Amino acid sequence: MCMLGLWSVALGFDIKESPKVQKRISPQENSDVLYSFSSSIEDATKAVVNISTQKNVSNQFSNHPMFNDPFFQQFFGDIYGQIPKDRVERSLGSGVIISSDGYIVTNNHVIEDADKVIVSLSNSTKEYTAKVVGTDSRSDLAVIKIEQTNLSPISFADSQAVRVGDVVFAIGNPFGVGETVTQGIVSAINKSGIGINDYENFIQTDASINPGNSGGALIDSRGALIGINTAILSRTGGNHGVGFAIPSDMVKKIAKELIEKGGIKRGYLGVGIQDVSEDLKESYGDATGAVVISLEPQSPAAKAGIMVWDLITHINGKKISNASELKNLIGMLSPREKVTVKFIRDKQERVTQITLAELPDSKSNASNASPNTQGKNNQMEGLSVSELDATQRQRYRIPSQINGVIVTRVEKDSKAQKAGFEVGDIIAQVENLHIRKPIDLQNAFTRFKDKNKRILVYSSNGTKTIVLK
């Protein structure tokens, strides 16, 4: 009876079936009709240009005073004439016309450090020397200009309306053989963490993006720009169907600012952030956002009362899903702009107003220490720490704003190793308690002995949160 009961339950499970195919329809109902996107992409191809750059590279050896010494030349004889001197490096890329009077957007890496930028228009052999208007290495975008009028600029689409499965075309000038068009679909949107740019919110596509396509256009089936092709993921350098484009909304904002102001000034909160990890979910329930794991002294966030382990969930009413979204959103805002920040602290929702500062030009490198000293034990199995002193700071170049104790030993297979501690880590905070000496760590472990503990750690790979249960 028991087996029959189980069998009846199994028979009761339904699988959703698709309707049976009744008819197959050919896309060519008439023998004189073709499917084609030719008219849709015609204007877009006219807006894509070829960019070639020249960079003068000097041979350091040939510039040495000894190189021009007559004795040196006589001693080496015929070999002297074979020593390479200055050379010219050339590279190819693509760009997209965005105004009728000659403004062109491309990738920063296409024209970076170039001594000369040459542009060729579609279906033309004439070359124009371009002027660099502005560059932004953080987003890998740049604007150049040629002295020409009556050009055909591309139309911009709303990249926020792009959906996975949309038909797209990648247009560029790879290998300098003229315009090429490849077709594919949008494979993913809002892709970040690729490690290509500082600000990443890529549209991913399987349309072939080959060397030389960088800076070219990714367009929808109407011919409107949805992105600027920037990179491929490939072990061989060839196309493997994983290409990335910078969304048109980001391109539009940055290009306008480069043209109008010559550079980009970004908003700055002054926080280090991370995603809500599996270990941290219990602290925030089902909420998503960006977890604050560090604060710059006197930063806008610090002045507004934001604290470590606050979970930022909304900016100006816009929901934040992860750390990358917060970084991109703040990076697209201007300095001195006021924002409304909604965050969760101790499972309670709070709101504050923050006036953004200006993002410093230099990239933050707040955690590059990897000290290795022997020290005292605390109350966690397998973990030894010591006090961080001036000698260690100087020896390991630890920034003055980082305080804590240094992990000097982690026993193999211990609780400390399984938790993720490594030699050289700097333990800065346990829950709301700041750590300055080993005794502080002991007291913190004692105080939160029977509770989950969030531990703020600086490592050579950046800031991280370790949760002990």
- Residue from 309, 169, 331, 338 nearest 249 by CA: 331
Q: Whole-number mean pLDDT of the chain?
A: 81
- Residue-level pLDDT at 465: 87
From the candidates 94, 159, 208, 214, which is the catalytic residue? Answer: 214
Residue 214 annotated among the catalytic residues of the structure: yes
Mean pLDDT of 265-281: 87
Cα–Cα distance, 250 to 430 (Å, whole number): 38
User: Is residue 11's pLDDT more than 80?
Assistant: no
Q: What share of the chain in percent tops pLDDT 70? A: 80
Catalytic residue among 109, 122, 283, 384: 109
Closest residue by Cα to residue 427 from 395, 469, 468, 397: 468
Q: Which of 55-59, 158-162, 284-288 has the highest mean pLDDT?
A: 158-162
The pLDDT value recorded for residue 428 is 86
The pLDDT assigned to 49 comes to 92
CA 355 – CA 446 distance, rounded (Å): 39
Q: 116: which strand partners? A: 54
Question: Could you give the CA distance from residue 337 to residue 357 in angstroms, rounded to a whole number?
Answer: 8
Q: Please say if 140 is a catalytic residue.
A: yes
Q: How many residues does the chain have?
A: 469
pLDDT tens, residue by residue, 185-194: 999 998 887 7
Question: What's this model's pTM, rounded to 2 decimal places?
Answer: 0.69
CA-to-CA distance for 272 and 446, rounded, in angstroms? 28
Amino acid identity of residue 57, one-letter, is: V
Q: 159-261: which CATH number, 2.40.10.10, 2.40.50.140, 3.40.50.300, 1.20.1050.10?
A: 2.40.10.10
- Both tokens assigned to 439: 């005794």
Rounded percentage of the chain residues whose pLDDT exceeds 90: 38
Examine the residue annotation and report whether 240 is marked as an active-site residue of this protein. no
Instruction: For residue 20, give the amino acid letter.
Output: K
Cβ neighbours around 432 below 10 Å, total: 12
Within 10 angstroms of residue 5's Cβ, the number of other Cβ atoms is 9
Three-class secondary structure of residue 406 per DSSP: strand
CATH architecture of 41-145: Beta Barrel (2.40)
pLDDT greater than 60 at residue 3: no
Tokens 């980082």 sit at which residue?
402
Of 7-16, 50-59, 310-319, 355-364, the range with the lowest mean pLDDT is 7-16
Which helix (H) or strand (E) covers residue 418, if one does? helix 415-419
Q: Which of 232-241, 287-296, 394-403, 429-438 has the highest average model confidence (pLDDT)? A: 287-296
Q: Which of 136, 139, 140, 249 is catalytic?
A: 140
**Which single residue is written with the structure tokens 């290795």?**
372
Let me know if the fold of 159-261 is the same as that of 267-358.
Answer: no
Q: Of the candidates 99, 185, 201, which has an alpha carbon nearest to the alpha carbon of residue 150?
A: 99
* pLDDT tens per residue, range 354-407: 999 998 864 433 322 223 333 333 457 788 888 877 666 666 566 777 888 888
Topology (CATH) of 376-468: Pdz3 Domain (2.30.42)
Q: What does the DSSP assignment read for 327-343?
A: HHHHHTSPTT-EEEEEE
For 137, list phi and psi in degrees, rounded to 5: -70, -25
Kind and range of the H or E element at 430?
A: strand 426-430
| DSSP structure class, residue 398 | -
| H or E stretch covering 467 | strand 462-468
CATH topology assigned to domain 267-358: Pdz3 Domain (2.30.42)
Give the chain's radius of gyration (CA, Å). 29
CB 241 within 8 A of CB 234: no
Q: Would you kindly state where each structural domain of the chain is located, as residue ranges?
A: 41-145, 159-261, 267-358, 376-468
| pLDDT given for residue 377 in this prediction | 39
- Least confidently predicted of 14-18, 54-58, 138-142, 283-287: 54-58
Q: Is the pLDDT of residue 280 over 90?
A: no
176: helix, strand or coil: helix
